[in-house]
Structure 1
Amino acid sequence: MMKKKLKTPLKGKLEEVCYNKGVSFTKKLGKTMAEEVAIRTAYITLAQLLKMENLIASGGQAKAFLADVIIQVNGEDENRRGKKLYPGDNVVIQGEKYQIVGLSAEELAEEAEKKAILERFAKSQKRLDEKNRQKRNSQSAKKAKSRSKYPSGPGSWN
């Protein structure tokens, strides 16, 4: 394994980039950096994290997985699949480190903007649907009136 020092250390700390079989990963002071898992809600459960990281295929497998594997949440062993993970929590699963992070202020503003756009679109669609419904009802009423002007049925055949 070759070690190469970066010309500009990230965030002022000594870091090394290791190349192993063409795959690069970063080491920080001898420890591997935690993978950041961004969440859009206030929290996620441990089972959801396992599914997001493709360690299990479904939530039902979480119980068996937790029985076989030791998972640490913020340095404490955890075996509850419903354990709530909040931004800032650190999770270690089979030697892999994950850090739960929330959305940044910029991403939150972008999400709010998207939500506002969708709400405006839904309101405009609702108005259009209501206008179309009224138009169809008035057209069908006109057709019914026009039909009633002329006699119909067996009595009119004579």
Structure 2
Amino acid sequence: MTAPTPVEDVSIGGEAIRLGQFVKFAGILDSGGDVKEAIIDGFVTVNGEVDRRRGRQLQIGDVVGFEGRRVRVRP
């Protein structure tokens, strides 16, 4: 049995942020074009579920995943 992937915490300095902004802000992907493509193509998850909406409002505690990396939204 493999250990679950550790979750990194990234502080956003507020209460909410949009999914597309967070993926870039957290350094998960570097360019806005790559972020847009990854989200639309269904490679990004929020709390374990695929979400294809770049504008989805993330809340504190949400976990965003991409290619095995998991990042939690922190204030």
User: TM-score range, shorter-chain basis?
Assistant: 0.7 to 0.9
Q: Which amino acid aligns with 1:67?
A: I
Which one has more relative contact order, counting CA pairs under 8 Å at least 6 apart?
2
**Bigger Rg, which one:** 1
Could you tell me which residue of structure 2 aligns to residue 73 of structure 1? 46
Q: Where do 5+ consecutive residues of structure 2 fail to align?
A: none
| Bigger proportion of residues as strand | 2
User: With structure 2 as the length reference, what TM-score do the two structures score?
Assistant: 0.79
Q: Where do 5+ consecutive residues of structure 1 fail to align?
A: 1-28, 103-158
Among 18, 22, 31, the residue aligned to 1:49 = 22
Q: Note if 1:83 corresponds to 2:56.
A: yes
| Bigger proportion of residues as helix | 1
User: With structure 1 as the length reference, what TM-score do the two structures score?
Assistant: 0.41
Q: Which amino acid aligns with 1:46?
A: L
Residues of 1 paired with 2:21 and 2:48: CA distance?
19
Residues of 2 paired with 1:81 and 1:41: CA distance?
18
Over the aligned positions, Cα root-mean-square deviation in angstroms equals 1.8
Q: For 1:31, what is the secondary structure of its paired residue?
A: coil
Report Cα offsets for 1:1-58 as digits up to 9, x if no partner.
Answer: xxxxxxxxxxxxxxxxxxxxxxxxxxxx812210101111210111111211150323
Instruction: Identify if the C-alpha distance between structure 1 residues 76 and 69 changes in structure 2 by more than 3 Å, giving closer, same or farther.
Output: closer
Aligned pair count?
A: 72
Q: Which amino acid aligns with 2:20?
A: A
- In the alignment, is the contact (CA less than 8 A) between 1:37 and 1:101 conserved in 2? yes
